[in-house]
Amino acid sequence: MSYPVKSYAAHAPTARLGLFEFERRSPRPDDVVIEILYCGICHSDLHNTRNDWGHARYPMVPGHEIIGRVIEVGPEVTRFQPGDPVGVGCMVESCRHCGACGKGWEQYCENGATYTYNHQDPVDGTRTYGGYSEKIVVTERFVLKVPEALDLAGAAPLLCAGITTYSPLRHWQVGAGSRVAIVGLGGLGHMGLKLAKAMGAEVTLFSRTPGKEADARRLGADHIVISTEAAQMAAMAGRFDLIIDTVPYQHDVNPYVPTLASNGTLVMVGYLGPLEDLNTAPLVLNRKALAGSLIGGIAETQDMLDFCAAHGIHSDIELIRIQDINEAYERMLRSDVKYRFVIDMASLKDASSA
């Protein structure tokens, strides 16, 4: 049977999100039906609902940082049972047979991963709708176990902000003795600080404005460098093995390249688009690299959740009602949140009064 659910959806790029009712697809034998308890708000939710990337399909139900409890499982499901705390991140399916999927890199699926919302189910062609809703139906393969040690609300942003920073830290083998810098202190940046510190790295925050020192140190930064101060930047020359740039808009990355050590890598995880006037000379002359990274595969995301549970890591959140989503979007544009909004989905029961 299908599941009628309430949600909040965008119906046009300039429209406020509002109440929307639809039916989830009927569960298949390998599906897990999840009651959604919490859903994080990602900057990409705003970009998608406002069609900043040009691929929006309306009505759109955003949300890909989903924490919930299993309420039903199909007969072929072996890893979950009703009552289990679970998570669903940015993907709900991939082709499963290409080279990338074979390596556990479903996010780079050569035939195109199926995203949690604003996408199309590869089996029946139905629209995918995200976590700003009461329930979701997902194949077991793309459901994650949430360790008991994790705070459920604080775990929601780990499914995107957490794995987006964890994946490059793991890929570039950060550990004790590594020197890591994080550019930007927001939803992604604050997770990068926490994770890099827990891995044993010496951690530096690059920020354009002063006044964030106390918070940055609380989150794991050993050093804070004001990137608009030439003397401070010059003092960092040749220092970092890895820089993770979390800034979500176009900006000048040239000032950060000299701070890389030889063989160092600057990884873009926040901004999608062209970089103007990139000077490649420092890259070529010192074997430095500019790279990109996108979320993480399912196995790596599970590793990240287990790592966070073992180290007491969760996202710093502000819990909101679904009725306050439009105001939260405006605040997010002003960077007026420390450091991630999470929707208490119990508030959806009262959404008719919004």
pLDDT tens digits along 309-325: 999 999 999 999 999 99
Task: Please count the residues of the chain.
Answer: 354
Contacts for 162 with CB less than 8 Å, ≥ 6 apart:
191, 195, 304, 305, 308, 313, 315
Domain extent, residue 9, equals 3-160+296-303+314-353
Q: Find the CATH number of the domain harbouring 254.
A: 3.40.50.720
Average pLDDT, rounded, for the chain: 95
Same domain membership, residue 288 and residue 250: yes
The β-bridge relationship of strands 66-73 and 85-88 is antiparallel
pLDDT tens digits along 161-204: 999 999 999 999 999 999 999 999 999 999 999 999 999 999 99
Q: Is residue 240 scored above 70 in pLDDT? A: yes
Same domain membership, residue 137 and residue 12: yes
| pLDDT attached to residue 354 | 42
Q: In this structure, is residue 308 part of a structural domain?
A: no
Same domain membership, residue 165 and residue 147: no
How many domains are contained in the chain?
Answer: 2
Q: Is residue 53 scored above 90 in pLDDT? A: no
Same domain membership, residue 174 and residue 251: yes
